[in-house]
Amino acid sequence: MILAMQSGTIGDVSIPVTSNSLFGVTGPSCGGGQTFEIMRTQVAGLAAVAPIIGWTDLYQALCPNDVPKLAYSVGLFAGGFDATNPNYGNVMFDWMGDIIGGTPELTRTGDAEHNIDWRSVVFDPGELTVPAFVIQGWRDALFPVQQATSLPFAKLYFGGLGHPPATSTITGPEGLYLRAQLVRWFDYWLKGIENGITTEPPVTVAPDNTANWSAGALVQSDNFPLAGTTPTTYFFNKNSLAATGGAGSPRRLSPTTGPTIILNPLRNALGGSADQLMAAFLLVNNLLNSGGGVLDSSIVAKSDSAAKGINFTSTRLASDLTVVGLPEFHLFVSASASNAYYYVQIYERLPKGSAKLITRGAFKDHAGNFATPHKIDFPPFAINHIFKAGSAIRVRIASRDFPFFLPNLKQPKAKIYRDAGHPSQVTLPVVL
């Protein structure tokens, strides 16, 4: 399409182009990923881009810390297949076999055709010289905010739009605002219209939910994390989150057994033909989504209430606590076997006792010294959330988070440490 436009014709549309013509590229989701990708082609005339809820690191988007996002992986694979005109190469089936088989890290090996990292611009930042206005969603569980924070893009917007459990509507106030900003962006870079967009603060932070969007709620900043953000550490102290640690014997984290029979068609199809694997993906996707599509938000918003886990809860907050950015988990763990999975969630425990899931994450522990206490460090998804006065912060560490993440069918017994020599903790970016 770009080559056709440069030659002056797209389909039946003639475009008056010359060697001095400029163009820009934008698109959401897969189109956002492709918009990032075109930045490194150095194609003539490309003056600016605006990737919308796309990826910079495809592997970490699908398999953060080597734990596959089960529901999204199955849904995307099933949803992108054209049964009337099969459109997947062998590498796609190889990748999904590795992901569902519990060895997603194998997708990162081989040549460009077989290495999933070749599709990720995060590894070649020196090629990204085109001005980029990047839009990501706080509650986007597919391509979260950290897809945009690892590289120095010209302009960033973090808001309520995104993949589930975020909203994808673009007809509300937030969508209309962003459409106007994109026009300003391309007017400046393509037409040379001095509209002030490059002199404004480069970072705009909006509420995590489009329903709460208003122009007055926008926070503009020269940097991210926001000025005034203080890393605040909560230690695991007995069964609490506290300002200090060093109390309590190790907590046992038992494997979760339960109804994951829904995955049997996929397990049985691994190693078989492409047709058998595709049929299994279509079947499991329908089962997971109860007949809905990959954008069914219910599957990515709920918790695994049947999973075995350990809770650590703070005292009730005396005042509102604003958390904006990327939390970090620093856990001391051991296990009875290698490759244990650790699934984490952060909740707001409301005054009346119910709990609201705020963010989640997972980690596959490759440590060779798995049987002795050792430290693992990893982030869950970024958040923009106000924990209300009277609520409490709850951290849960579980041995399963199904069906959002792939369950570990060989999950060993594990321990979480919380003593002075092994101070497990979570750090939250608190805005004062």
Residue appearing with tokens 């056709």? 4
Q: Can you give the pLDDT at residue 260?
A: 81
Q: How confident is the model at residue 10 (pLDDT cuts 50, 70, 90)?
A: confident
Q: Can you give the pLDDT at residue 272?
A: 87
Beta bridge partners of 397: 310, 344
Residue pLDDT, tens place only, 46-79: 999 999 999 999 999 999 999 999 989 998 998 8
Does residue 294 register a pLDDT over 60? no
Q: Can you give the pLDDT at residue 340?
A: 97
CA 211/CA 208 separation, integer angstroms: 9
In terms of pLDDT, which residue wins out, 301 or 199? 199
Mean pLDDT value of segment 367-375 = 97
Does residue 291 register a pLDDT over 60? no
Residue pLDDT, tens place only, 106-154: 999 988 888 999 999 999 999 999 999 999 999 999 999 999 998 999 9
Does residue 430 register a pLDDT over 80? yes
Residue pLDDT, tens place only, 306-358: 999 999 999 999 999 999 999 999 999 999 999 999 999 999 999 988 999 99
Q: Decide if 173 contacts 243 (C-beta within 8 A).
A: no
Q: How confident is the model at residue 3 (pLDDT cuts 50, 70, 90)?
A: confident
Q: How confident is the model at residue 406 (pLDDT cuts 50, 70, 90)?
A: very high
Q: Can you give the pLDDT at residue 49?
A: 97
Residue pLDDT, tens place only, 160-180: 999 999 988 889 999 999 999
Residue extent(s) of CATH 2.60.120.260 domains in the chain = 230-256+304-431
Q: Can you give the pLDDT at residue 16?
A: 79
Q: Can you give the pLDDT at residue 296?
A: 63
Does residue 293 register a pLDDT over 60? no
CA neighbor of 382 nearest in space, from 409, 410, 413, 360: 360
Q: Can you give the pLDDT at residue 397?
A: 98
Q: Can you give the pLDDT at residue 113?
A: 85
CA neighbor of 248 nearest in space, from 422, 397, 428, 393: 422
- Give me the chain's average pLDDT, please: 93
CA neighbor of 175 nearest in space, from 52, 336, 348: 52
Two structure tokens written together for 28: 């959401």
Two structure tokens written together for 355: 């709990």
Residue appearing with tokens 């199955």? 74
Residue extent(s) of CATH 3.40.50.1820 domains in the chain = 2-52+124-217
Half-sphere exposure for 309 (CA within 13 Å, toward CB) = 22
The per-residue b/e assignment along 342-377, b for 16 or more CB within 10 angstroms, e otherwise, is bbbbbbbbeeeeebeebbbbbbbbebeebeebbebe
In this structure, the dihedral spanned by the alpha carbons of residues 359, 362, 367 and 369, taken in order and rounded to 10 degrees, is: 70
Q: Can you give the pLDDT at residue 292?
A: 54
Residues 6+ apart with CB under 8 A from 210: 159, 160, 161, 166, 167, 169, 172, 174, 175
Residue pLDDT, tens place only, 254-275: 999 877 888 999 989 988 888 8
Q: Can you give the pLDDT at residue 17?
A: 80
Q: Can you give the pLDDT at residue 262?
A: 87
Mean pLDDT value of segment 375-395 = 97
Residues in the chain: 432
Q: Can you give the pLDDT at residue 265?
A: 92
Percent of the chain with pLDDT over 90: 76
Residues 6+ apart with CB under 8 A from 381: 141, 144, 145, 146, 359, 360, 361
2-52+124-217: what fold? Rossmann fold (3.40.50)
- What CATH class does 230-256+304-431 carry? mainly beta
Q: Decide if 390 contacts 351 (C-beta within 8 A).
A: yes
In this structure, the dihedral spanned by the alpha carbons of residues 27, 23, 172 and 137, taken in order and rounded to 10 degrees, is: 40
Lowest mean pLDDT among 225-239, 297-311, 346-360: 297-311
CA 354/CA 167 separation, integer angstroms: 24
Does residue 298 register a pLDDT over 80? no
